[in-house]
Amino acid sequence: MTGRPRPAIAELPAYRPGRSAAAAEADHGISDAIKLASNEIPFGPLPSVAGAIASGIEHVNLYADHRATALREDIATAMGVDVAQVTVGNGSVGLLQQFALTYCDRGDEVAMCWPSFEAYPVFAMLVEAEQVRVPLRAETFDLDALAAAVTPNTKIVFIANPNNPTGTVVGTDEVEVFLDRVPSTCLVVLDEAYAEFVTDPAVTDTTRLLDVHDNLVITRTFSKAHGLAGLRVGYAIGHPDVIAMVDRTLVPFAVNELGQRAARASLAASDEMRQRVGDVVVERRRVADALGAEGWTVADAQANFVWLPVGDVAADVAVQLERRGVVTRAFPDVGIRVTIGDPVANDRFLAALADCDITPR
């Protein structure tokens, strides 16, 4: 082996992104495949956002503002918090890694329900922390069991709400009860990457919890609802001391100039963004209803995807869908996550699934 990597890194699994349509076409000898594997929104940037990106091209020879100061200020205003409570990173996933690097050491514990976002275990392994995985209950985070699993060694708890890949949510009151049960020495990272798509009335504004729980951090992203996945901008809101500490692990100039400009423009066009989100929610409901009419048991989807709990045939069904030109995200032996696309793409998925050799379950 060239060089001497840390043993933890040598054993670290690489993050596995959703397969591309081109890869499926090459593998199966097909054309015109569509990708519904990575929870990308089916729209390009809003006109004002595209303009902000274009106007920034002339500045790409210069380093961006490392702290993304103006963007932090805009986020603070939009979220109704103090700017000292806001940090910005390379997508919310970059911030999740920063929290692991900042707070965890070898032998510490990182707790989560499972299955959930695939990056959580990777970041725990990166810092050589022990993973504590608690099973989901009815495809949803079991916060009661998760709280019981927290020990004095638990440095971070990750809560995905909505959960990825199942799309289910826990109510804000449940989150508050959980926070009351865990010690203040445990950082609770509430991962709200899909918050804008939530319609369940039990989920309300979680920023109010920051006033009484200094160990709570809320992460969000511009990748999903704002449609800026390719520019990699995320943010976190928490206690100023936590934000100041995690800023120490921010890679220099992690958020580029175009990303900062686009994110600020998208915040300024929030009404247009929410209209697009509303269109996705309408399609999500239509797809879920169509699946239910075919006999599928579909979890209450609250993100921009639906979840098929097909268990040990997940990989096989995903391949069958690919052969029919629809690329989804298989979680082997668990289920299949399907991004909500535009109506044409969604109809292709429904037709392809109906043509697969599987009985609805």
Full pLDDT tens readout for the chain, 361 residues: 678 888 888 888 888 888 999 999 999 999 999 999 999 999 989 999 999 999 999 999 999 999 999 999 999 999 999 999 999 999 999 999 999 999 999 999 999 999 999 999 999 999 999 999 999 999 999 999 999 999 999 999 999 999 999 999 999 999 999 999 999 999 999 999 999 999 999 999 999 999 999 999 999 999 999 999 999 999 999 999 999 999 999 999 999 999 999 999 999 999 999 999 999 999 999 999 999 999 999 999 999 999 999 999 999 999 999 999 999 999 999 999 999 999 999 999 999 999 999 999 8
Report the domain count for the chain: 2
Q: Give the residue from 300, 277, 304, 292 showing the smallest Cα distance to 353.
A: 292
pLDDT of residue 1: 60
Are 205 and 125 members of one domain? yes
> Edge-to-edge strand order for the sheet containing 335-339?
305-308, 335-339, 329-331
Does residue 101 sit in the same domain as residue 245? yes
CATH number at residue 335: 3.90.1150.10
What pTM does this model have? Answer: 0.96
* Structural domain includes residue 2: no
Same domain for 350 and 323: yes
Helix (H, G, I), strand (E, B) or coil at 235: strand
Asked which of 269, 300, 329 is the last residue of a domain, the reply is 269
Question: Does residue 155 sit in the same domain as residue 220?
Answer: yes
The verdict on 263 and 282 lying in the same domain is no
- Print the domain residue range for 306: 7-44+271-355
Domain-located, residue 231 = yes
Q: Do 248 and 114 share a structural domain?
A: yes
In a domain, 195, yes or no: yes
Judge if 52 and 190 occupy the same domain. Answer: yes
Q: Answer yes or no: is 360 within a domain.
A: no
Are 262 and 291 in a shared domain?
Answer: no
Nearest partner of 194 among 231, 234, 235, 164, judged by Cα: 164
Q: What whole-number distance in Å separates Cα of residue 277 and Cα of residue 279?
A: 5
> Domain boundary residue among 269, 295, 314?
269
* CATH code assigned at 67: 3.40.640.10
Q: Are residues 11 and 75 in the same domain?
A: no
What's phi and psi for 130, nearest 5 deg?
-85, 135
User: Could you tell me if residue 1 is inside a domain?
Assistant: no
Q: Are residues 342 and 237 in the same domain?
A: no
Domain boundary among 252, 269, 286: 269
Does any domain span residue 164?
yes
Whether residue 316 sits in one domain with residue 195: no
Is cis: bond before 162, omega within 30 of 0? yes
Closest by CA position to 265, among listed 231, 241, 306 = 231
